[in-house]
Structure formats: structure tokens, C-alpha cells
Amino acid sequence: MNSPPAGPSSVLPEEGTRSHDMLMQVVAHVRTIGKVNISLRQLAAGIGTSHRMLQYYFGTRENLLGLVMMQLSREYIAKFAGNRPRSRAETIQGTWDMFRDPNNRLQTQILLTLAGAAAEQPDLQLPGLNLDLDNFATALAAFGRAEGLPADRAEREGRFIVASLLGLYLDFYITKGAASVDESFHTLKGWVERSTRDAGGPSDPH
């Protein structure tokens, strides 16, 4: 018998737990309806449970959506099995391809929904989304260190790259895929490649 959670989780639940089963049901439901800007009650009704049960396991709608985004990121990364990115340049290229993929609209919607909620509610906590972004920045920093950057510079550049990609993605979404946004992405990628070369690391062959 599964033990009840100590409180709403901001990390992905373990497989086989009730909270994991419910999260996967929510993921399947939002995929089916194609939207995420709905209430916790609507999400609960969609998977045949009560909003109190979702609150018990996940707290707020925003925390739940953050976990959905983390799960979608995990599934996307799993597609690279055996062909994982080996550098910052390869990582951001794969991320940009993911952003531009029309089949990846759910993550777009979650990102914009949570960003809008945070703008409207300054005190709103988004631990799941923050963790997802932090993990991305940490991975970029690790690649940066492997490419020869000092640790503090690798961390600063990792976060800068994350913020730049988010800004470019918002621009791409608003402008409906303007070519100038793609050109700006390649400017960012070129800057990353120069940073790697200056640090003595290998340049991206692609």
C-alpha cells in the first residue's frame, strides 16, 4: 500500500505511486484536449477524480502544470537515447528544434500559461517550472566546464543561454515563426561556439 505524500510535491513522483498515476492521467488528458489553460476542477473532472484529490497530491494548478512540463521534457529527452547532445551547441540546437516542433505545442502552452500566472500573481511559486529551467541551466553549465570554461563563467553562460532561448521562443511564437527569429537563434549558437573555441574546447561540427 502506497504511503500518503508528506505534502504536494514539486518533483516528479516515483513510478508506481498514486501521484505518478494521476500525473500521467493528467498528461494524457491535456494531450487529448490540446490545451492547458483550464482550472484544477476541470483537470480533475477530465481524469475522473476530485479537485481536492489533485490539491492533496499536487497543491496548486500551477504546480501540477509545472510537473506536467517536467514530464513532457523527460519524454522528449528520452527520444535522444543513444544520441544525446554532446555540447552546449548541440543541446541548444535540439532545444530550438523542440521549441519549433508544431507537435510540441503543449509545452508552449504550459510555459506561456505559467509565465502569465506569475506576472499576475507576484507571490506565486512555480517550483516545478523553476526546477525544469534550473536543470537545463545546470546541464549547460556542465557542458561549459567540459568545454574548458571556468566554473563560474560556465554557470553564468548556462543561465544566459536559457534566458536567451526563452526570449527567442517568445519572439518566435508572437511573430508566427518570423525568419529573423531563426537568424537570431543562429547568432546565439554562433556566440556559444565562439565561447567554446575561446576556452580551448572543440567547435560544433554541424
- pLDDT score of 152: 97
Instruction: Give the whole-angstrom CA distance, residue 139 versus residue 88.
Output: 9
Q: What are phi and psi of 159, to 5 degrees?
A: -70, -35
Q: Which of the pair, 68 or 76, is modelled with greater confidence? A: 68
1-15, 85-99, 128-142: least confident range: 1-15
> Running DSSP on this structure, what letter comes out for residue 82?
T
Q: Which residue has the cell 527567442?
A: 168
- Mean pLDDT within 157-181: 93
Question: What mean pLDDT is reported for the chain?
Answer: 88
In the chain, the amino acid numbered 117 is A
Other Cβ atoms less than 10 A from the Cβ of 122: the count is 6
Q: Which of the pair, 106 or 151, is modelled with greater confidence? A: 151
Instruction: Give the whole-angstrom CA distance, residue 142 versus residue 81.
Output: 19
pLDDT digits (tens, 9 = 90+) for 87-108: 999 999 988 988 888 877 888 8
**Top-level class of domain 18-198:** mainly alpha
Q: Where are the domains of the chain?
A: 18-198
**Contact between residue 151 and residue 145 where contact means Cβ atoms under 8 Å apart:** yes
pLDDT digits (tens, 9 = 90+) for 20-40: 999 999 999 999 999 998 999
Instruction: Give the whole-angstrom CA distance, residue 134 versus residue 139.
Output: 9
Dihedral, CA atoms, 130, 131, 135, 138, nearest 10 degrees? 70
In the chain, the amino acid numbered 201 is G
Alpha-carbon distance values, 78 to 24, 81, 85, 94, 193 (Å) = 16, 5, 12, 13, 25
